[in-house]
Structure 1
Amino acid sequence: MMAHIHKAYDHHHWLFMLIFLVLSYVASSSDPTEAATLLKFKSSLLNATALDNWTNATPPCNGTDNWAGLYCDHDDNVFGLNLSKMGLRGIIDIDALLNLSGLKTVSVMNNSFDGPIPSVNKLSSLVSFYLSYNNFSGEIPEDFFVGMNSLKKIYLDGNEFTGKIPKSLAALTKIVELDIRGNQFSGKLPKFSQNPKAWKTMNVSYNRLEGRIPASLRNSDPSAFLGNLDLCGKPLAACKSSKKKLLLIIAVTVISVAVILFIAACLERRRSAQSKQVTRVQDKLGAHHDTGAMEVQLAAEEENNNFHNNAERGGGGGGGELYFVQQDRNFELEELLRAPAEVLGSGSFGSSYKAGILSGSVVVKKFRQMNQVRKDEFYDHMRRLGRLSHPNLLPLIAFYYRKEEKLLVHAFVANGSLASHLHVKREPGQPGLDWATRLMIIKGVARGLAYLYREFPGLTVPHGHLKSSNVLLDNNFNPLLAEYALIPLINRDHAQKFMVAFKSPEFYHTERTLKKTDVWSLGILILEMLTGKFPANYLQPGKRANADLAAWVNSVVREEWTGEVFDKDMKGTKNGEGEMLKLLKIGMCCCESNVEGRWDWREVVDKIEQLKERDTDEDYSSYASDGDAYSSRVISEDDLSFSVTA
């Protein structure tokens, strides 16, 4: 009897446990609070069409067709939120996400969020979060990261954060990936607590940091610190050793005496400084015998006269003073005048020359066609340009104001412009730009242009003069955009004759530039890089109905498109032809003459970011193994999957 009772008990016990497990699984896999939480979070977002499948019609995690942007575990619980590149704006309601107890990673990269950093610190169990390439700004509170002890990956790059790097961030011990480049963080780098060998990614470049690099970061790649001109110590240049008190006293005494003697000497030297400087420039530029160089020589002589005349008047008479927007690069006007001068060229705006000063070479660009802008407007705009900080923008160092002419001072980039690498005749055996390098360049150009679009939302054409000669290349062939955001300053009639934006189809038809005008200029640049052909109409003043280059590419595609459209310097490309075709499509969609049909800058940047050096699509595998195959294969419009309109 007892045996039957025990047997019945065991049977019911296991049946009860089975029912309990099934109910627990059902409860966990279809938790209604997750759907409600996510829908509440979505309600705070704007332009959220990418999240249209977030509805009560299906559970967030259903094993086959999860809601967009969700990462789900094997129990169908949400552990990750990836909302990158969805065009989102509005408020990131972190409080609404607190009910997602299993949430470990959040990404809102490449959207249009702004304001202070969202309160992700309330999600104390996060392992990673990605806020890159939005418009977040302001200082991050010192204690922001307290309690976020599980954090391993933090990406804040490409925003506008200011202030010091919080010490609570440096105190986290599990961080292995940190990217804060392209912001405006200032002050000293804090001492990070984690093992120096644990770093996988660490980048603080292109901020305003200063001081000695902490020992825990000294084994990092030097590129991780670029663009912070006041950082020093390994792996960068050594810091200047501090003076002992006695040496400091002696130095101050010596300097004081030297200053007194210098002032006395200057009274005599000033009388002859002007004539000597003109002679120096004449001697330096005398080696140039062509007409253009002689014009620049005369302009340089006149420019030096203006410099000295205004310097003696203390900067009066409507200008005459060198104003620094980067305080870490400071030199006297007199030093700039006495520096050896090398003429770089004379363009539609004026002459440019390279000056060698003690702190390094700089380029001085003279603009005569800015005399219709008021002084206060010019200063305000220049200061705004000086605050820009992005790895793909050539930073402004200083400017010089006179009513008749303006000077902009930039760092000298020794590797020259993209135009010189594409079009200048090379020595025999010297290689041209390969596909991988061109792809890297166009990605950098797109990122720089996207930054300008975000930084100047009220400016219809944030660049205005985007062309290959205004894309400079550093020693690693990373692109730096030059002559950007100048349309508000250039005399209107001169701008319409020479600036690239005014050669667009919309200006030809309506005499207006639009938000997509810079996209058109980017498209022409893409076609120029892929074909190796120079847009000849850029050399002709006045407006044109369309760029000859875009018209040529369109006509070739309509007739019998072949891979011969690509620059022969890329002929040896292997397994990249499909990606080259994709970039060609992007370029042509950027050059669409119908503005309504032309891609928006966000879509263009997203498409370019998705490009790879090598093909992954099976569509191209049949001919990707042969490096020369693309030069003979005929491609139809169906291969490109887009329409071409005249």
Structure 2
Amino acid sequence: MARKRIILRVIVLFLTIFLHFSVSLSESEADILVKFKESLENTGALSNWNNNISPCKGDDENWVGIFCWNGTVWGLQLENMGLGGTIDMEALTKLPNLRTMSFMNNNFEGPLPNLTLISGLKSIYLSNNKFSGEIPSNAFNGMLYLKKVHLANNQFSGPIPASLAGLPKLIELMLENNQFDGEIPMFAQDRMRNFNVSHNQLVGEIPLSLNNFSASAFDGNRDLCGVPLASCSSPDQLTIGTIIMVAILVAAALAALVVVVIILRRRTQPPQQLAGAVAAGAAVFQQGEKKANAVDLDRIEQGQAGSSGSSSPEKSSRGKKSEPNMKITFLREDREKFDMADLLKASAEILGSGVFGSTYKAALNDGQMMVVKRFRYMNNVNKEEFYEHMRRLGRLNHPNLLPIVGFYYRKEEKLLVADYMERVSLAVHLHGNRSRSNSCPDWPTRLKILKGVVKGLLYLYNELPSLTAPHGHLKSSNVLLDRSYTPLLTDYGLVPVVNPEQAQEHMISYKSPEYKTSGRITKRTDIWSLGILIIETLTGKFPSNFLQQGKSSDTNVAAWVESVTGDDGDMEVFDADMDRTENAEGEMMKLLKIGLDCCQTDADRRPDIKEVAEMIEEVKEKGS
């Protein structure tokens, strides 16, 4: 009898457990998501989330903000909805096929949600919210399928979680504009494609596995060093005043040394020569002080300075100075004149550091905001040729060209001065800090930008017919944007004045298939660069494989194009962060096809610039 009672209890217990799981399994995805919605605030945008209709019908979505596959929910895209409250991860664990979640551009606060509850996640986007606090080091443990993590533009603090570096499939990590501190963990080099930790409080040396990324991925961390930033062995973040003081002290030490030598030798010198020697020692100090005060912007890179060179004023007569090396040659008459002394007194901010030199934003006393770009690798061209070419470029005038306001000439290096553009470059908006002030451009804006780029390029072809590649260095970072997102091409027409060896190593035209096969560029080389730019703008993918320093391979180009476009023309090729107008897909595919035509390996099969301009002008924001 006792044995029967035990068996009966086991059966009852089994049935209880079975019924519990049966009830859980019977809970529909609609019920799960409605319960999840209860944890959110300001859910007006989710008004069609209710139990009256299933979230998915096959691969089609019945609810807003849902991605469906085979009748089940595999993704949430709840962006730009003003949502707040709590992200109930426990409720979402009941969605067995959930693989991606995006809550970008909302008002969520507090600590990072417990993402490990959904170990099958492949991507998580939480940028542009108000999350804060330190993220535990094990916050990503066990997330073996996670590929993309976007936490930018929040208020996270503390070290970057070490568990991120242990994710076997991580390819994108965006952590910019937070308050992370400590050192950067060691990430695997072979898999990371997009990485940004700029504008945090990180310290120490950048891991070797990350030095293939540009300096913009690390900017804004005062105590971070190593490639691609300044060497860790160099003095960091010196001010202009500090540099000048050090130079003055060195000059004073040299003067003191001269005086000591004079005193030691005074017994062997005639008395009448002593005063002249002491005066010479004092002159050493004075000349050193002049050199220190003539430190110019082209000697300051990322808060550091090199030798003062020969930029000091030359003495023309007693008590008077002439300053031939401090003069800026202006190419436009509609600008207020200033000189290098004004730039020295201006507050300066480094905007970036490229292969040719650094770029600075200078705020002059009268309120003008100018950009000063330092160019190395132009010392093979003589002064007359350089002046003539700059005046030729200075005569160019088009709404889609950034005019060169003036230049400063020295044999070793040159400065070009231009107007400052508030929205910086297209590259920043496609790949950089997608903050509230630099939002990701939508489809109409990207189309407008590309149409303007083509108009500017067509103008260059018409006005610079003698140049084989009228632009020569066309890329997204050389497409600047004004307040209304009008594109302005910069760094154009510089092939004739850049040293040939550096031009071949660094300039985009020399990465083209024709240069690799024949050692020359053609009239359609800029068309190839334009095609790459079109594909990059539509897909949001950076063509890093073949634009790396010293690389030039059409195989890399083909691999990149194939990786971003696929073989079947799937709409997934387009940037997921790009908002689209209704019925725009056909026009987007039309523009993508133009980009692919421009990228053909055989230069003769590419359309010419007039054909490209006509084809792109026919592309509309939406189809009929």
Q: TM-score, normalised by structure 2?
A: 0.50
